[in-house]
Structures are given as C-alpha cells and as structure tokens.
Amino acid sequence: MTGLVLTTLDWVPEFPRGFVRDLRVRWALEEASLPYTVATTPVGDAEARLPFQPFAQVPWLTDGDITLFETGAILLYLGEKSTALMPRDSAGRAKVLEWTFAALNSVEMPAVPWSLYKWADDETQSPGRAHLDRFLMGRLDRLEAVLAKREWLAGAFSVADIAMSDVLRQLETYGLFEDRPACRGYLARATARPAFKKAYADQIAHFEAADRERAKEERGT
C-alpha cells in the first residue's frame, strides 16, 4: 500500500468502539483532507504489532518509508503537512506543541489510571486513589479556567485540540464536566466538527464490518 496508511485493530468488542485511538489520526487526516487508507492488525496477535509499535498497541501510521507510533507523534507529524492542523509560524507552532503535550502528559497522564479504576468498577477508597482523584480534578479545574477564555487551545483549531478533546471525551462519559461548562462547551464544539463526525462514523463502521466478517466465518459462508 502506498500513501498514508493508518493501521488499527481488525476488531474490538463494543465497549471501546468510538474511543480506539486511531480516531485521533482519522480525525486529523479528515481535517486536513489528506487521502489515506486503513490497514488492520489482528487483535489477538500482539507479537505481530511489535515491529511497528513496541508496546504492541495501535495505531501506527505509515507514510512511504516512515512508520510512526504514538498518537501524539503522529498528530504532530501530520501537523507539518497541513495548516489546517498546525500553523507555519514558530510562535503558532510552539503553542500547538505545548498544548499537545499538555493534553497527553498533563491530562491524559492522570486520566488513564483514573479511568482504569472505573473500567474495573473498583470504588475502593485508599490514600493513593484519593490522591489520583485530586490530581485529575485539579488538572480539569485548571483546564476549565483556560477554556473559559478561549475557543481552541492554541489560537485556531489544531492537532492540540484533537488530542485534548479526545482525552476529555472519555472522561465526559463519567459526568466529569457537569460542573465544568467551559470544558463541556469545548467538547461540544470539537465533536460537532464534520471531520470528527466522519472519523467517528468510520471507526464504528470499521468494527461493524468486522462483526459481519466474523459472523460469516462462524457460519462458514
């Protein structure tokens, strides 16, 4: 396959659909109107992913001879290809870099372990858990104050907003923005973008097509 190729899992159960991180890459590609194809890697074969992603995760992006993993790296790489994703001037680029890292290193960093407790339905209280809770809520409160004053994080819409809003989407399912109207408004603006809607619909369609294939295989047709 030539051109930009996004690789994701061939199938996942219902639960993570709409949240698999290939969505960030699809979204950026759609925003920039960059043509791409989607390739798959078998969900049950972690070893097959290791040559491309050292943690055996998805997604990764191939662009000719270049293959990259980590959605943050992929978003910034794509940002270089289109001003729809990142401005060209140094000051504008610097803002996009800082907010992309903030999304992944300051907000997603506590959001992931916090969510893992939720997925495990683990409501056990412990000092560490309380600390994690305060840590994440503190980050969200600071973000709320920032978003109360701006439409997008780094001036115009950019890959930083793709990273941040995708991190926040998961947290929204736990009602964390009921008392944070600026975060809620930001998420509503981000997910109303046609490129997000297309990326989301395409991910859902990808896994639904895989369901149909699996059903056919089970029937032996």
Instruction: Kindly list the residues in this chain that would bind ligand GSH in the complex (CB under 6 A).
Output: 20-21, 56-58, 70-71
Smallest separation (angstroms) from ligand GSH to the CB of 14? 14
Least distance from ligand GSH to the Cβ atom of residue 107, Å: 13
How many whole angstroms separate alpha carbon 165 and alpha carbon 159? 10
CB of 32 to ligand GSH, least distance (A): 19
In the complex, the smallest distance separating the C-beta of residue 219 from ligand GSH, rounded to whole angstroms, is 28
The Cα 102–Cα 105 span in angstroms is: 5
Q: Which is nearer to ligand GSH, 20 or 210 (CB)?
A: 20
User: CA–CA separation, 48 vs 128, rounded Å?
Assistant: 36
User: Residues with Cβ < 8 Å from 181, sequence gap 6 or more?
Assistant: 144
Which residue is nearest to ligand GSH, using beta carbons? 57
Contact 71, 24 (CB under 8 A): yes
In the bound state with ligand GSH, the residue whose beta carbon lies nearer, of 17 and 184, is 17
Handedness of CA 59, 22, 85, 81 (dihedral sign): positive
Nearer to ligand GSH, 87 or 207 (CB): 207
Nearer to ligand GSH, 56 or 94 (CB): 56
